[in-house]
Chain A
Amino acid sequence: MLDKVKNEQKRKVLVVDDEIINRMMLGNIVEKNYEVLYAENGQEALDIIRKDGKNISAILLDLMMPVMDGFMLLDTLKEEDLLKETPVIVLTSEVTAEVQSIRMGAVDFIKKPYDNPEVILTRIQRIIELFEDRQLIETVEYDFTGLYTKDFFLEYMSQIDAKDPQSLRDTVAFDVEHFHLIQEIHGKTVADEILSYMGSNIRDFLESHPGIAGRWDADQFYMYVTHLEDTKELEELVERLSNYSPDITVRVHAGIYTAVAQDVEEERKTAAAKSACNTLSNNYTKVIAAYNEKLHEEEVYAEKLINDMDDAMNEKQFKVYMQPKYDVTGEEPKITGAEALVRWQHPELGMVSPGRFIPLFEGNGLVQRLDHYIWEETARIIAGWKEKYRRAIPVSVNVSRIDLYDPEIKTKLLNIIEKYHLEKKDLHLEITESAYAEDMDIALKVIASLQNEGFLIEMDDFGSGFSSLNMLSRMPIDALKFDMQFARTIDTDQKQYHLVESLIGFARMLGVMTIAEGVENKEQYLAMKKAGCNIIQGYYFSKPLAEEEFVHYIEELKEETC
C-alpha cells in the first residue's frame, strides 16, 4: 500500500465493462491520469485483481455483464477480503443499483452516461486519496507483543538520532534458536505466548534503559537503547527471555552493535547486530556477542566475493574438480563414478572453497548460472573421457533448490546431453534434502519428471534435515547420499552406526542405492562397508582432483589392475 503512495509511476485503474465502446470511452478519460487496465467481465477482472490487486488503485465496475456480473464480482471480492485492498466504484444508470452496490462494498458510483470527464477524474482521485489515507492510518504501529513493527521501529530509530545525534547508542538483536521448531512442536498458540512473554520482558528492560524495541520476521527482536556500559544487565535480560517455562527449552541469543560513526543507516545497524547474534547459533556457552572487526572483515570479504562473481564467471575462474566414488560391495573397491565439485581460482585471493561462496551465490540467485556452468563443464569432461577410454564414468552434479523452479531445467540438461553426445545416465543429479522439504509438491514434480526422463537422482545431505522415512518412500530417488556427519562419527559412535545400518536397510527395501561421502580413514570406510553402504567417496580413497589429475589417477589405476 505504501508503495502505491511512494511510487512515482502512474497509479493503475482497472476498467471493467463488457461493452467495448464504453470501455474505450472511459479508458480514454481515465488514462489522462492513470495507467488503465481493462477487463470484459467479472471473471476476467477477478483474475487480474487476484494476481495484482495490491497494485491497482481503483476498480471502475459495470454492473450488468455476462459471465460474471458486477454484483457477483463484488460478492467474491468481499468474500476473499480483496475489497480492503482496492476501492470499487460502480458504473451505473440505476439508482436502485447504486444503493445495492454500495451496500455490497462499493465506495462510490459513476453515472452512465458519463459526466464531464473532469468530474469523473476528480471523483476517482478523491476516492483513491481517501482510501490510501485510511490504509496509512490503519497500518499497525505495534504488534501483539507490544513492540513496534519494522517500519515504525526503523523510523523511530532515525527520529531518535535526529533529536540527539551526539549520544552513543546500541542496537541489540535477539534471536530464538530454532524458533520454527518450537512452533512446530508446541503449536502456534504457545509460540505466540513465548513471543508475548519476550516482548513484555524487553519492555520492562526499557523502563530503566531509555530506548525503543521492535519485532519482525516472527522471532527477530530488536532494541535501540542508550549505550550499555557493561552488558551484565543485558545478559540477565537474555536469561529471563529464555526462562519462559521449565518445560520448554527456549534458547535466546543477543548481538550488539554500537555505532560510533553517526551516518550509519538504520538497517545497517540492525543487520550488524543480527550478524553478531548469528555467530552464536549453536553456541551453548555464550549468550551475547558484539559486532567486531573480525565480523566486519568477513562481511567485507563476502562483499568482495559477490562483486567479483560476474567477472569470475566470464573469465572461467571456476574450476571443476572430480572426487572419485568407489563401489565397495565387491571384494575389492572399484571406481564407479565421481562427484563434480567446484573451486574458485580467484586471481587475488587464491583458491576459495565452495563453503565460502556457494551460500553467497544462493543468496543472490547466481547459483543457477554457476550450476549450469558446472553441468556443461562436467559434460565436456565426460565426453573427453569417452573419446579417450571408450567408456564413460558417470559424474554427479549439484542441482540447487532454485534450479527446480526453472521451467527450462529439463530442456537445459537435455541440450547439454545432446551437445556432448552423452547418455542421460552419465550425469547424476544431486539434489539436497532440504530442497525436497520446502515446497514439496513443486520439488517432487520437477524431480520426478527428471527421473522419468532418465536422469539418476541422488538425494544429497540425507539426514541433515527433516525428511521422514515415510516421506522417503514416496520420493523420486535413485540413491541416498548420507550427510558427512554420519561418516565422521560412524566408527566411534555405536548409536550412529546402528542408525546408519537401519537407514541402509530401509533404503535397500526401497531399492535405493546408498552413498557415503566424507569418509576419511580406514575405520570409517570399514564401518560404512560393514553397515552395508554401496558406494563410498572421501579422502580415504582420494581428494577432489583437477581435470588433468583425475586423468592421471585413472591411468594409474588401470596400470595397477593390469
Chain B
Amino acid sequence: MLSIDALREYGADVEDGLTRCFGSEEFYLKLVDMIKEEKSFGLLKEALEQHDLDAAFEAAHALKGVTANLSLTPILNPAMEITEHLRQREEMDYEPLLKEILEQKEKLDNIINE
C-alpha cells in the first residue's frame, strides 16, 4: 500500500512534497500514484534507443519537472543529471542513468502496487 511512510522509506522528500499539496496526504498520494501512467519514462527510453537527443531532452526535462514537484528524490536525482547532459546534446553512454531511472521507477511501482 502506498503510504507516506513507505514513500519516506523509499527516499522521497515527503515533507517537501506535502507542502506543495497544502499538507494534504490524500492529495499527495493520489498524485504520486499517477506516476504509474507517466509517459515521460517510456518517451525517454524510446528516444534514447533511437538516439534522438532532442526528444530525449524533452522527455527527461518533463520527468525532472514532475518528480521534482512530487519530491521523488530517487528518480529526480538521475533525471536531473541526465537532463543536464542531454541539454548539451552530449554524445555519451546514457544507458546507466536511464537504467537507474527505470529501476527507481519500478521500485516505486512496486510500492504503489503492493
Say whether A28 contacts B66, CB under 8 Å: no
| Cβ-defined contact, B31 with A19, below 8 A | no
Secondary structure class of chain A's binding surface, majority of residues: loop
**Residues of chain A contacted by B68 (CB below 8 angstroms):** 93, 112-113
B16 to chain A: closest residue by CB: A113
- Interface locus among B17-25, B89-97, B101-109: B17-25
Confirm or deny: A278 has a beta carbon within 8 angstroms of a beta carbon on chain B. Answer: no
**Is B58 on the interface with A (CB-CB < 8 A)?**
yes
Mask: chain B, 65-76; 1 = CB below 8 Å from A; 0 = not: 110111100000
Q: Which partner residue on chain B sits nearest A91 by CB separation?
A: B65
A418 smallest CB distance to B (angstroms): 50
Residues of chain B within 8 A (CB-CB) of A112 are: 65, 68-69
Interface centre among A19, A32, A93, A117 (most CB of B within 10 A): A19
Q: Is A313 interfacial (CB 8 A cutoff)? A: no
B81 at the interface (CB under 8 A from A): no
A336, CB-defined interface residue at 8 Å = no
The answer to whether B20 and A29 have CB atoms under 8 Å apart is yes
Residue A116 interfacial (CB < 8 Å): yes
Q: Complex: how many Å from CA A29 to CA B38?
A: 21
With contacts A113-B71, A114-B69 taken as known, whether A19 is within 8 angstroms of B22 at the C-beta atoms is: no
Contact indicator A19/B21 (Cβ below 8 Å): no
Q: DSSP class of B's interface residues: helix, strand, loop or mixed?
A: helix
Instruction: Number of A interface residues at 8 Å Cβ cutoff, please give it.
Output: 18
Q: Is the CB of A21 within 8 A of B34?
A: yes
Q: How far is the CA of A66 from the CA of B19 in the complex (A)?
A: 29
- B87 CB → nearest A CB, Å: 9
Closest to B68 in A: A113
Chain A, range 266-296, C-beta contacts under 8 Å to B: none
CB distance from B35 to the nearest CB of A (A): 7
- Which A residues are in CB contact (< 8 Å) with B48? none
State whether the Cβ of A402 lies closer than 8 Å to any Cβ in chain B. no
Q: Smallest Cβ distance from A88 to chain B, in angstroms?
A: 18
Query: What residues of B have a CB within 8 angstroms of the CB of A32 in the complex?
Result: 22
Q: Which residues of B contact A21 (CB under 8 A)?
A: 31, 34-35, 38, 66, 69-70
Q: CA–CA, A292 to B69, complex, Å?
A: 70
Q: Mark A496-533, 1 if CB is under 8 A from B, else 0.
A: 00000000000000000000000000000000000000
A20 at the interface (CB under 8 A from B): yes
- Residue-wise interface mask of B (40-83) relative to A, using a CB-CB cutoff of 8 A (1 in contact, 0 not): 10000000000000000010011011101111000000000000
Q: Given A28-B21, A29-B22: A18 and B62 within 8 A (CB)? A: yes
User: How many residues does chain B have at the interface if contact means C-beta atoms less than 8 Å apart?
Assistant: 22
Q: What's the Cα separation between A88 and B87 when bound, in Å?
A: 25
Within 8 Å of chain B (Cβ to Cβ): is A25?
yes
Residue in contact with B69 in the complex, picked from A18, A113, A116, CB distance below 8 Å:
A113
A64 near B58: Cβ-Cβ < 8 Å: yes
B residues near A64, Cβ cutoff 8 Å:
58, 61-62
> A93 and B31 in contact (CB under 8 A), knowing A25-B20, A64-B58, A117-B20?
no
In the complex, whether A551 has a CB less than 8 A from a CB of chain B is no
Please name all residues of chain A whose beta carbon is closer than 8 Å to the beta carbon of B16 when the two chains form the complex: 113
B71, A28: Cβ atoms under 8 Å?
no
Question: When chains A and B are docked, how far (Å) is the Cα of A533 from the Cα of B38?
Answer: 75
Check A117/B66 contact, CB under 8 A, given A20-B34, A21-B35, A24-B31. no
Task: Report the Cα distance A22→B40, complex, angstroms.
Answer: 13
Known: A93-B68, A117-B20, A117-B22. Is A28-B27 also a contact (CB below 8 A)? yes
Alpha-carbon gap, A371 to B20, bound state (A):
58
B27: A residues at CB distance < 8 A = 28
- Residue contact B70 to A93, C-beta cutoff 8 Å: no
Give every chain B residue within 8 A of A29 (Cβ-Cβ).
20, 22
Query: In the complex, A28 Cα to B66 Cα: how many Å?
Result: 15
A66 contacts across to B, CB distance below 8 A: 58
What 1/0 flags go to B1-18 for Cβ under 8 Å of A?
000000000000000100
Residue with the greatest number of chain A CB neighbours at <10 A, chosen from B38, B65, B70, B71? B65
A22 touches B21 (CB 8 A): no
Q: Check if A19 sits within 8 Å of B20, measured CB to CB.
A: no
Q: Are B19 and A19 in contact (CB under 8 A)?
A: no
CA distance A107 to B112 in the complex (A): 40
Residues of A contacting B64 with CB < 8 Å? 93
B65 is contacted by which of A19, A28, A116 (Cβ under 8 Å)?
A: A19
Question: Contacting A22 at CB < 8 Å: which of B24, B66, B71?
Answer: B66
Question: Across the interface, which residues of A come within 8 angstroms of B34, CB to CB?
Answer: 20-21, 24
In angstroms, Cα B27 to Cα A29, docked, is 11
Per-position binary interface string of chain A over residues 11-37, scored 1 when its CB falls under 8 Å from any chain B CB and 0 otherwise: 000000011111011001100100000
Neighbouring B residues of A19 by C-beta, 8 Å: 38, 40, 62, 65-66
Tell whether, in the assembled complex, residue B69 and residue A22 are in contact, meaning their CB atoms are under 8 Å apart: yes
Listed residue (B19, B40, B68, B69) with the most chain A CB atoms within 10 angstroms of its CB: B69
Within the complex, what minimum Cβ distance (angstroms) separates A20 from chain B? 7
CB distance from B80 to the nearest CB of A (A): 10
Q: Which of B16, B20, B38 has the most CB of A within 10 A?
A: B20
Distance between B112 CB and nearest chain A CB, rounded to angstroms:
14
Cα A493 to Cα B17 in complex, Å, equals 88
Task: List residues of A (407-452) whose CB comes within 8 Å of B's CBs.
Answer: none
In angstroms, Cα B66 to Cα A112, docked, is 9
Give, as a whole number of angstroms, the nearest-CB distance from B3 to chain A.
Answer: 19
- With the chains together, A113 CA to B69 CA distance in Å? 5
CB-CB nearest in chain B for A24: B31
Q: Which of A114-146 contact B (CB under 8 A)?
A: 114, 116-117
Contact (Cβ within 8 A) B65 A93:
yes
What would 5 A/B residue contacts be, using CB atoms closer than 8 Å?
A21-B69, A25-B69, A66-B58, A93-B68, A113-B65
Query: 10 closest pairs, A vs B, by CB?
Result: A113-B68, A113-B69, A21-B66, A114-B20, A112-B65, A19-B66, A21-B31, A21-B34, A25-B69, A22-B69
Q: A24-B31, A113-B65 are in contact. List 10 more A-B contacts (CB 8 A).
A: A21-B31, A22-B65, A25-B31, A25-B70, A28-B22, A28-B24, A64-B62, A66-B58, A112-B68, A117-B22
